Amino acid sequence: MAEGRRTDADASSGAPGVKSIDELRERIDALDEELVRLLNERASCALAIGRIKQQMGMQIYQPSREAEVLQHVQGRTVAMGGPLSPAALARLFERIIDEARRLERESAGSHDDREADTIGGAWAPKRGAGGR
């Protein structure tokens, strides 16, 4: 081993109850797999909602509902004691909501010119062919 460099095996303090980096990484991998499963389940629900919206002639973009979701997850992280802040959860869920909205539009065959990435919940015109 190169002097001054630590390996994962060196990282464990050996103290009882303290997990090694490898054990923590295995736990993160397992949590990531669960997150992927849950995100795909959430996306399936969003697609079903998109189909219902289409049948009812509703707009895909529902800013009041999106605000409710963000408020809900921010409250949950406060209630759970973090360590992710409400602002961090809002940023994560803004991306999750953006992807759900994209899936809804794709499944509806919608090419609304307002469809674009959002930054902080504000619409930006779609760029590219036919865009500005």
User: What kind of fold does domain 23-108 have according to CATH?
Assistant: Chorismate Mutase Domain, subunit A (1.20.59)
Which residue's entry shows tokens 């389940």?
41
d(CA 57, CA 23): 50
Q: Residue 86 contacts by C-beta under 8 Å, 6 or more apart in sequence?
A: 74, 75, 77, 78
Which residue's entry shows tokens 């602002």?
87
Return the domain boundaries, the chain. Answer: 23-108
Closest CA to 66 of 44, 39, 40, 46: 46
* Encoded tokens for 5: 């460099």
Query: pTM of the predicted model, to two decimals?
Result: 0.68
pLDDT at 33: 98
* Sequential pLDDT tens for the chain (132 residues): 444 444 444 445 556 677 899 999 999 999 999 999 999 999 999 999 999 988 999 999 999 999 999 999 999 999 999 999 999 999 999 999 999 999 988 887 754 444 443 333 444 444 444 443
What DSSP string runs through 39-60?
HHHHHHHHHHHHHHHHHHT--S
* Encoded tokens for 100: 């759900």
